[in-house]
């Protein structure tokens, strides 16, 4: 039994909040999960098309999913470690594809919540407005039921676990001359379907998986689509194989009053729309200065191992901040971390630290660790905004967390499948979701899953 059982506030009931709640309860704590939406799922709760008043802003929607989205990870690797994401009744499956549509992921998360009896822990349609430090390391959490007026209800918790997601607050590219440019701009956060772009000339900025998918999606209706990618060499634009209306350019140099957009390669086009697929910003509007963290150039600072602010650890923690980007020559590719297992391992660690089974280093030692980590990033020449970019170290991190928790390390097949998917994506950018050569790894995974099904 744990040495301490705590009353905890978890903010968010997406994949991170759900698995955090499960791990905290498994460790003997009493979590209350605050969720602004009326259902679990977070990002995977698709919001249908709407005309947002600010197409560059977060608007009122949390999810950034577009209608055609299929997962960019194979389902075997994507699921939680002990609740396989298989096409089976237990996961509510209705889309058996290996890279299923977004609805299947939502069904999986709903099944996870039912299987571990998490729904009764969630206060739906309840937004956390503020988190304030109280005496003895505790936190006062102010929340308000949607539709209620007034300043909300304040309750005191022993600790707060932040799982509010980081794919909602748009990051926008800076484009010289954009204020005088007469076209329309929007962020991929607000992109849903290609129909509004019929016969238009659209520039998609970015090199992420979303930029890749959305440019193809829009090319099905638009007159022309031009991808502007800052990692593309400065040469004339390249027509994309298999398309007669899709080009890859270097980054935008400037936008002009006459409607033309000039690329750094010297080419220019008259465009109707600029779509910013330029990523997202960490945002914790409910935290004040007493949280001891700041967000500067997308660095959440300071955090020990991307989870605990040393000064207020372990009573405040963050699940799910790491991400990853990588680029492949001549095509824009983004491979993220495998989020669900990472959330799960971080949650196990937080739960055990809170119960006292794992002891953190001293505040000073944690700060030293953070500083040493920043020095490494600087030596590598990485900007602050890459602080939580896991480059190629996600499995090292996962395995470190697992070791802390005396839990098995990430399965070898999952690691190999992840790398294999990256290579397959680079080799078959258009068809990697339907063609692959790693059936042996799928077999290994299914063999392993038998113990959980």
Ligand X SMILES: Cc1cc2nc3c(=O)[nH]c(=O)nc-3n(C[C@H](O)[C@H](O)[C@H](O)COP(=O)(O)OP(=O)(O)OC[C@H]3O[C@@H](n4cnc5c(N)ncnc54)[C@H](O)[C@@H]3O)c2cc1C
Contact residues toward ligand X (CB under 6 A) are 11-17, 34-37, 42-44, 62, 64-65, 69, 71-73, 78, 127-128, 163-165, 167, 210, 286, 320, 339-340
Nearer residue to ligand X within complex by CB, 62 or 249: 62
The distance of closest approach from Cβ of residue 261 to ligand X in the complex, given in angstroms and rounded to an integer, is 25
Nearer residue to ligand X within complex by CB, 210 or 250: 210
Nearer residue to ligand X within complex by CB, 71 or 278: 71
Q: What percent of the chain is helix, strand and coil (3-state, nearest 5)?
A: 30, 20, 45
Nearer residue to ligand X within complex by CB, 263 or 418: 418
Tell me the two tokens of residue 251. Answer: 């980054």
Crossing angle between the packed helical segments 439-449 and 412-427, to the nearest 10 degrees:
150
Nearer residue to ligand X within complex by CB, 25 or 183: 25
From CA 272, how far away is CA 197, in angstroms rounded? 9
Tell me the two tokens of residue 139. Answer: 């936190």
The distance of closest approach from Cβ of residue 401 to ligand X in the complex, given in angstroms and rounded to an integer, is 16
The distance of closest approach from Cβ of residue 280 to ligand X in the complex, given in angstroms and rounded to an integer, is 7
The distance of closest approach from Cβ of residue 366 to ligand X in the complex, given in angstroms and rounded to an integer, is 23
User: Which DSSP letter does residue 194 get?
Assistant: S
Nearer residue to ligand X within complex by CB, 229 or 265: 229
The distance of closest approach from Cβ of residue 306 to ligand X in the complex, given in angstroms and rounded to an integer, is 13
The distance of closest approach from Cβ of residue 36 to ligand X in the complex, given in angstroms and rounded to an integer, is 4
> Is 264 within 8 Å of 175 (Cβ atoms)?
no
Label the pairing between strands 139-145 and 126-133: antiparallel
The distance of closest approach from Cβ of residue 358 to ligand X in the complex, given in angstroms and rounded to an integer, is 22
How far, in Å, are 18, 36, 135 from residue 123 at the CA level? 12, 8, 25
Label the pairing between strands 268-270 and 153-157: unpaired
The distance of closest approach from Cβ of residue 343 to ligand X in the complex, given in angstroms and rounded to an integer, is 6
The distance of closest approach from Cβ of residue 153 to ligand X in the complex, given in angstroms and rounded to an integer, is 13
Question: Nearest-CA neighbor of 282 among 394, 200, 165?
Answer: 165
Question: Nearest-CA neighbor of 261 among 320, 178, 347?
Answer: 178
Nearer residue to ligand X within complex by CB, 72 or 185: 72
Nearer residue to ligand X within complex by CB, 183 or 279: 279
How far, in Å, are 57, 187, 277, 385 from residue 171 at the CA level? 9, 8, 8, 11
Give residue 374's Cα distance to chain centre.
Answer: 22
> Is 385 within 8 Å of 282 (Cβ atoms)?
no
The distance of closest approach from Cβ of residue 305 to ligand X in the complex, given in angstroms and rounded to an integer, is 17
From CA 404, how far away is CA 72, in angstroms rounded? 29
Question: Nearest-CA neighbor of 314 among 351, 347, 354, 287?
Answer: 354
Tell me the two tokens of residue 354. Answer: 């809170």
425-447 burial, b for 16+ CB within 10 Å, e for fewer? bbeebeebbeebebeebbebbee
Nearer residue to ligand X within complex by CB, 15 or 175: 15
Nearer residue to ligand X within complex by CB, 136 or 149: 149
The distance of closest approach from Cβ of residue 303 to ligand X in the complex, given in angstroms and rounded to an integer, is 15
> Is 27 within 8 Å of 2 (Cβ atoms)?
yes
284-294 burial, b for 16+ CB within 10 Å, e for fewer? bebbeeebbbe
> Is 319 within 8 Å of 20 (Cβ atoms)?
yes
Nearer residue to ligand X within complex by CB, 247 or 280: 280
From CA 294, how far away is CA 290, in angstroms rounded? 10
């Amino acid at each position: 039994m744990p040495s301490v059982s705590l009353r905890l506030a978890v903010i968010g009931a997406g994949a991170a909040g759900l698995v955090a709640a499960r791990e905290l309860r498994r460790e003997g704590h009493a979590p209350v999960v605050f969720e602004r939406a009326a259902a679990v799922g977070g990002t995977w709760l698709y919001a249908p098309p709407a005309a947002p008043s600010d197409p560059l802003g977060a608007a009122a929607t949390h999810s950034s999913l577009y209608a055609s989205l299929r997962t960019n990870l194979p389902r075997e690797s994507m699921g939680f470690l002990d609740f396989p994401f298989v096409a089976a009744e237990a996961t509510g499956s209705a889309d058996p594809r290996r890279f299923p549509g977004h609805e299947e992921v939502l069904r999986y998360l709903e099944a996870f919540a039912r299987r571990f009896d998490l729904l009764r822990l969630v206060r739906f349609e309840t937004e956390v407005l503020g988190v304030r430090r109280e005496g003895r390391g505790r936190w006062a959490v102010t929340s308000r039921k949607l539709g209620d007026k007034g300043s909300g209800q304040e309750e005191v918790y022993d600790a707060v676990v932040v799982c509010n997601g980081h794919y909602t607050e748009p990051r926008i590219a800076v484009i010289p001359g954009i204020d005088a440019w007469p076209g329309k701009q929007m962020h991929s956060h607000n992109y849903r379907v290609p129909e509004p772009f019929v016969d238009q000339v659209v520039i998609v900025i970015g090199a992420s998986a979303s930029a890749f998918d959305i440019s193809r999606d829009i090319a099905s209706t638009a007159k022309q689509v031009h991808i502007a990618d800052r990692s593309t060499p400065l040469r004339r634009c390249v027509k994309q194989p298999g398309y007669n209306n899709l080009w890859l350019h270097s980054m935008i140099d400037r936008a002009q009053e006459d409607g033309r957009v000039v690329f750094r390669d010297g080419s220019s086009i008259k465009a109707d729309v600029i779509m910013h697929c330029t990523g997202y910003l960490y945002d914790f509007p409910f935290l004040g200065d007493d949280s001891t963290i700041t967000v500067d150039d997308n660095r959440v600072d300071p955090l020990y191992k991307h989870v605990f602010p040393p000064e207020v650890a372990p009573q405040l923690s963050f699940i799910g901040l790491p991400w990853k980007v990588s680029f492949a020559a001549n095509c824009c590719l983004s491979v993220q971390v495998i989020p669900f297992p990472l959330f799960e391992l971080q949650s196990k660690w937080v739960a055990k630290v809170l119960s006292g089974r794992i002891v953190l280093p001293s505040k000073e030692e944690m700060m030293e660790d953070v500083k040493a980590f920043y020095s490494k990033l600087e030596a590598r020449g990485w900007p602050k905004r890459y602080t939580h970019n896991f480059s190629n170290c996600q499995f090292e991190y996962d395995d470190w967390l697992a070791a802390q928790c005396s839990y098995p390390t990430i399965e070898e097949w999952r690691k190999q499948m992840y790398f294999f998917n990256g290579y397959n994506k680079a080799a078959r950018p258009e068809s990697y979701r339907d063609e692959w050569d790693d059936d042996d790894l799928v077999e290994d995974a299914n063999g392993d899953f038998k113990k959980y099904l």
